[in-house]
Amino acid sequence: MPEMNIVQAVNSALLEEMQRDDRVILLGEDIGKNGGVFRCTEGLFEEFGPDRVIDTPLAESGIIGASIGMAFYGLRPVPEIQFLDFIYPAFDQIVSEAAKFRYRSGGEYPCQITIRSPYGGGIKGGHYHSQSTETYFAHTPGLKVVIPSAPYDTKGLLLSSIRDPDPVLFLEPKRIYRAGREEVPEGEFTIPLGEAKVVREGADVSIFAYGAMISQCTGAAEQAEEVGISCEVVDLRTLVPLDIDAVLDSVRKTGRVVIVYEATKFLGYGAEIAAILAEKAIESLEAPILRVAGLDTPFPYTHENLYLPDAGRILDAVEKVYSF
């Protein structure tokens, strides 16, 4: 079984699905001969040609609009938005059109598209290449939001996303694109959407996170173990649909919660988890729910390391809820 990083896992998933299903079409800025800004589509133009790997103009509304039209005619487009920060010219097409067509057509037009985009900070990208605005889209009924944290999950979740009947926003944590490698199966291999994963078992504190924050959470859990605190780290993997049962099961075991995400704290995705726990698991809680998140400011260039949550900040929250 080959070892891959996240970039290679994305490429492997696209290659194998395009070989399996000739309805799968890729389109986006610089994804063809250039192989994409992060090289996720490298080699696919040579393999499948310009009719299936389409270099587009710098026009996100056109990329998504064309993808919606392709989906209505039975194709399976996988558009790439070069950075999540650039997706807003296509916001209306995504939340008002793609996410609504299955509902408004009574299921006749499911609009089966998978929008790939790198998101988040950690690469010194400054204001316009570092944002984590997944909650904008998680708020939209009819749209699924998937964020992997490791190569194995990346491939399995991406294949499931492409085959899903609903439009999917598949966000890739570019900070860890090449940060680590692990064994990833070749061939037929999927991970169901809507299933969280317990990355590390624990008994005292539940830590919920996704994407690049998982590695920071496991680091904090290792440090917490040194001082006698057992942390359970749960990778949500799919924000919509959320695996609520996995969240509740963990909290009913530990009674204490820390939620970690790198988006701005106010109204971030962690607020929804906190609300669900307040509604469904209040009797299990033994301490206030704490969020460790980005700051409520535009993403900074110079102070990127202060903005992003790290193992130290997470450990502080863990110790606070444990000693409450």
Q: Report the pLDDT value the prediction gives residue 187, as an integer from 0 to 100.
A: 85
Hunting for tokens 């439009």 — which residue is that? 167
Output the average pLDDT for the chain. Answer: 96
What is the mean pLDDT of the segment spanning 66-84? 96
Q: Report in angstroms the alpha-carbon separations of 123 from 38, 159, 299, 301, 308.
A: 12, 27, 12, 10, 11
CA atoms within 13 A on the CB side of 216: 29
Tokens of 76: 């399976």
Name the residue with higher pLDDT: 107 or 112: 112
CA proximity to 200, closest of 188, 214, 186, 189: 214
What pLDDT band is residue 28 in, cutting at 50, 70 and 90? very high
Q: Do 126 and 239 lie in a common domain?
A: no
What is the mean pLDDT of the segment spanning 50-59? 96
Q: pLDDT tens digits for 168-222?
A: 999 999 999 999 899 999 888 999 999 999 999 999 999 999 999 999 999 999 9
Q: Report in angstroms the alpha-carbon separations of 59 from 44, 98, 117, 312.
A: 22, 17, 15, 40
Q: How much of the chain, in percent, has pLDDT values that exceed 90?
A: 91
- Note whether residue 80 is domain-resident: yes
Domain that holds residue 32: 3-183
Q: Is the peptide bond before 118 cis (omega within 30 degrees of 0)?
A: no
What's 302's domain CATH number? 3.40.50.920
Spot the catalytic one: 127, 129, 139, 303. 129
Least confident span in 120-124, 246-250, 305-309: 120-124
- Note whether residue 189 is domain-resident: no
What pLDDT band is residue 20 in, cutting at 50, 70 and 90? very high
Examine the residue annotation and report whether 127 is marked as an active-site residue of this protein. Answer: no
Give dist(CA 63, CA 80) in Å, integer. Answer: 8
Rounded to the nearest 10 degrees, how much is the dihedral formed by the CA atoms of 247, 253, 258, 264? 10
Tally of domains within the chain: 2
Q: Report the pLDDT value the prediction gives residue 51, as an integer from 0 to 100.
A: 96
Q: Report the pLDDT value the prediction gives residue 24, as an integer from 0 to 100.
A: 98
Q: How much of the chain, in percent, has pLDDT values that exceed 70?
A: 100
CA proximity to 40, closest of 6, 85, 79: 6
- Note whether residue 191 is domain-resident: no
CA proximity to 81, closest of 101, 58, 111, 113: 58
Q: Do 117 and 209 lie in a common domain?
A: no
What pLDDT band is residue 108 in, cutting at 50, 70 and 90? confident
CB atoms within 10 A of CB 125: 19
Q: Do 153 and 233 lie in a common domain?
A: no
Q: Do 38 and 161 lie in a common domain?
A: yes
The 3-class secondary structure across 243-285, one letter per residue, is CHHHHHHHHHHHCCEEEEEEEECCCCHHHHHHHHHHHHCHHHC
Tokens of 111: 């609009």
Give dist(CA 322, CA 324) in Å, integer. Answer: 6
Least confident span in 11-20, 125-134, 252-261, 270-279: 125-134
Q: Do 53 and 132 lie in a common domain?
A: yes
Q: Do 175 and 206 lie in a common domain?
A: no
Tokens of 39: 């090289």
pLDDT at 107 over 90: no
What is the mean pLDDT of the segment spanning 241-268? 97
